[in-house]
Amino acid sequence: MSVRVGFVGAGGIARAHIGALSQMEDVELGAFCDVQEDRAEDLAAAHNARAYTDHREMLEREELQALYICVPPGCHTDVDIIAASKGIHLQDAANRDFALLAGAAKGHGEMDRDDASPRITWLSRALVLPYLRDVWS
């Protein structure tokens, strides 16, 4: 079983994470979103994935288990909350406070404040992937 990962933001930070993730055999890079369409399309073409310019559309259409948020903190809008409410595990390049996200997802039965740490995971640490595979299986 592979972990299907999406990206919001397709610039330099995303590319650094993609470099590491593309080395992992059980990771599928499935969707890329950026307000600059050419950035999203370039990464999508390189990884046989889909490109989006609207994160809401991407999160609605794609079946993702994890999402990297690689945009400046002021550009996050509601992407964190939408993803958390769908039970998508988050990697946030800006180290956002996840207490809010835990509350957003609580209404959907995915997590609460006490279990936010193991459910919202830092995928860039390769040691976490086996844990996530256990959670999803």
What lies within 8 Å, CB to CB, of 57 at 6+ separation is none
The pair of three-digit structure tokens given for residue 74, joined into one six-digit string: 């002021």
Residue 131: predicted pLDDT:
41
Q: How far apart are CA 14 and CA 18, in angstroms?
A: 6
Residue 122 has pLDDT above 70, yes or no: no
pLDDT, position 39 = 96
Say whether pLDDT at 6 is over 60. Answer: yes
Where are the alpha helices (H) located in 49-121, listed in sequence order? 55-61, 79-85, 99-106, 116-119
Count of domains in the chain? 1
Domain range holding 106? Answer: 3-136
> CATH number for the domain including 30?
3.40.50.720
